Structure 1
Amino acid sequence: MADVARTAGVSSQTVSRVSNGFPGVNEETRQLVLAVMKELGYRPNSAARALKRGEFRTIGVITFTLATTGNVRTLEAIATSAAQEGYAVTLIPVAVPTQDEVRGAFSRLGELAIDAAIVIMEVHLLDKAELSLPPHVKVVVADSDAGDRYTVVDTDQAGGTRDVVNHLLGLGHRTVWHLAGPEESYAAQRRSDAWRTALQEEGRVPPPLVRGDWSAESGYRAGLRIADEADCTAVFAANDQMALGLLRALNERGRKVPEDVSVVGFDDISEASSFQPPLTTVHQDFAEVGRRCVEGVLHHVRESTPEHGTTIVPTRLVIRDSTAPPPR
């Protein structure tokens, strides 16, 4: 900065005002300073700025995996929304969902130059890990049951599931089978609980729960078992990938969709409309979840006494060709 000021014949304060885009600098002087900056290759020192201002304009994101559609699309939305607010994103992956790994991720969080963090993981692991969050870091938890301890942004898991059950019962199916996600998943548990409750409220007996691990392969293996259930005419899969595997299994066993069995997924991935048949599914607005997460952490950063609470992002049922009335 001193070199620029000396070459341009102005004060260091003027160089600072120009580099920070502050008003009150004569346009001719501003252009001269900018030209000298370019000539000398001057770049503002972002680290020094951060130390001086006490803010880093960076959001940390902690997540278990980038193998699931929800995490990838939520992270993409977080990065986009943060950039629009002038913030960068630092990704802190947790290789294995163990207490030690979670503790290690939060230790790294405390060492990094970040202002806030968005956590995409099951909150019970935060509890078990006995975490001590860095005091200066503001936290928002996505898709987890954190109660009033953190600000939470969640998809309407229960509402989307009720829409599925009501749709299938409305078509005339006597009950709905459920291909659930892994037991340790908060989203999977919310969907299976809502499925069971929705059936019971209509006086229907829930069939035995069948579990997968979110993958198409697990949906295929579970589908081979479900296909042997002669009284099964409708299945709600907890995500679209498992629904894809289920469709393959039913086809191999000679059970047509939707003539013999109706199938519904959850997520509305971009390929869902290209399944055979096109998949009826619950649309999740991952872009809105990511935007609300960024909005939440920045509210924490900017407000001295922010309130904790839960923001629920609505879902909607997208009806395609994989559902129909049951066979007579």
Structure 2
Amino acid sequence: MADVAQHAGVSGQTVSRVVNNSPRVDPATRARVEQAMATLGYRPHRAARALRTGRTHTIGLVVSTLATVGNSRMLQAVADAAASRGFALTVVTLGYSDDISLAFERLVEQGVDGAIVLNEATAAARGARIPLGLRLVVVDSLPDDRFVSVQTDHAGGARSAVEHLLQLGYETVWHVAGPRGSFAAEQRENAWRETLASAGARVPQVLRGDWSAASGAAAGVQLAESGATAAFCANDQMALGVLRALAEAGRRVPDEVAVVGFDDVDDAAQYRPPLTTVRQDFDVLGERAVAMLVHAIDGGESDHDERVATTLVVRQSTRVVDYDAR
């Protein structure tokens, strides 16, 4: 930093302010310092900075698995949001039998400034011992006074999916649910059931999957055998499996069976037929989770949780029902 200061003709404090993105540097001076840094090949040394400030500018991320689309999309969103704020990311994945408390301890040993817990791992977080001083934001969780949370409006999204199908004229809607223990799956299933009950519609037996297309295909076989005419799937991957199973059973979508998913993955518009689905905004979720955590790291107080709205995206896998034509 002394070399940079000498090359740019400024004080060492000015270089420090530029490195730390302080607003107390005029644009011309900042440009001169950045040019000197580029010329000399200067890079901030994280370890040295951590010794001086007590912070590593590293965020921990705890996730049960990266095999699901939702978790991998959230990882990308969190990584992008962290990088935009100058934070590195350390990821810890859990086996289903792992103790999340051990994951917290590993992150503390690595000196993270705080941590974010994603989706299925949040159930373990609610009962875990959280190390003293570890700032924590949980994505998709019931309220807990030990941490703040941000979540998709799963119930609102599921309600919009079921109401869409009922408004098209379907007498009831079957549900391919996510795995037990998942906060998101539970919220979507409960809203499906409550929406049908409020409309006076019959509530069919729940068909349960594990988020994978293969489990959706297995549920699709049961849907085809049941004579179902409309189905709401708890994610798009399972909806993809349902579409395949229905096609193999000779049940046409949407002419004989309407299908709605949840997530709006990048390929949902390319399914055959293009999938009507509930879009959850992973980018906003990741951004809000990181913003809330950085706010806590900076000493800010947060006394409320946040909820991110969903949007129903209507495509060709649903249509107005015409029972006379059946």
Matched, 1:259 2:240: no
State the SS of the aligned residue for 2:226.
coil
Equivalent residue number for residue 320 of structure 1: 315
Equivalent residue number for residue 125 of structure 2: 126
Matched, 1:98 2:97: yes
Gap runs ≥5 in structure 1: none
The whole-number CA distance in structure 2 between the counterparts of 1:35 and 1:295 is 28
**Percent of residue pairs identical:** 44
What's the offset of the Cα at 1:268? Answer: 0.4
Equivalent residue number for residue 66 of structure 2: 66
What's the offset of the Cα at 1:9? Answer: 10
Matched, 1:303 2:302: no
Counterpart of 2:129, as a letter, is: L
Correspondence 1:238-253 to 2 at 5 A: 238-253=234-249
Count residues in correspondence.
313
RMSD, matched Cα: 2.7
TM-score relative to the length of structure 2 = 0.88
The whole-number CA distance in structure 2 between the counterparts of 1:182 and 1:174 is 26
Using a 3 Å threshold, how does the CA distance of structure 1 residues 36 and 98 change in structure 2: closer, same or farther? closer
Equivalent residue number for residue 21 of structure 2: none
- Match for 1:286 among 282, 289, 305? 282
Matched, 1:210 2:207: yes
What's the offset of the Cα at 1:203? Answer: 0.8
**Contact 2:259 2:318 (C-alpha < 8 Å) held by counterparts:** yes
Using a 3 Å threshold, how does the CA distance of structure 1 residues 60 and 259 change in structure 2: closer, same or farther? same
Counterpart of 2:123, as a letter, is: H
- Match for 1:116 among 104, 114, 121? 114
Max Rg structure: 1
State the SS of the aligned residue for 1:228.
helix
The whole-number CA distance in structure 2 between the counterparts of 1:188 and 1:23 is 49
Gap runs ≥5 in structure 2: 19-23
The whole-number CA distance in structure 2 between the counterparts of 1:179 and 1:52 is 53
- Cα-to-partner distance string for 1:250-286 (whole Å, 9 max, x where unaligned): 1111111011100000000010111111000000100
Counterpart of 1:212, as a letter, is: G
**Contact 2:281 2:308 (C-alpha < 8 Å) held by counterparts:** yes
Q: Which has the larger displacement, 274-283 or 80-89?
A: 80-89
What's the offset of the Cα at 1:18? Answer: 3.0
The whole-number CA distance in structure 2 between the counterparts of 1:142 and 1:179 is 23
Counterpart of 1:106, as a letter, is: F
Correspondence 1:113-262 to 2 at 5 A: 113-120=111-118, 121-128=120-127, 130-135=128-133, 137-230=134-227, 232-262=228-258
- Cα-to-partner distance string for 1:39-98 (whole Å, 9 max, x where unaligned): xx665432122121122211111111111111111111111111222222111222x122
**Contact 1:18 1:34 (C-alpha < 8 Å) held by counterparts:** no
Using a 3 Å threshold, how does the CA distance of structure 1 residues 34 and 307 change in structure 2: closer, same or farther? closer
**Contact 1:78 1:294 (C-alpha < 8 Å) held by counterparts:** yes
**Contact 1:122 1:144 (C-alpha < 8 Å) held by counterparts:** no
- Cα-to-partner distance string for 1:229-263 (whole Å, 9 max, x where unaligned): 12x11000100010011011111111110111000
State the SS of the aligned residue for 2:218.
helix
What's the offset of the Cα at 1:8? Answer: 5.8
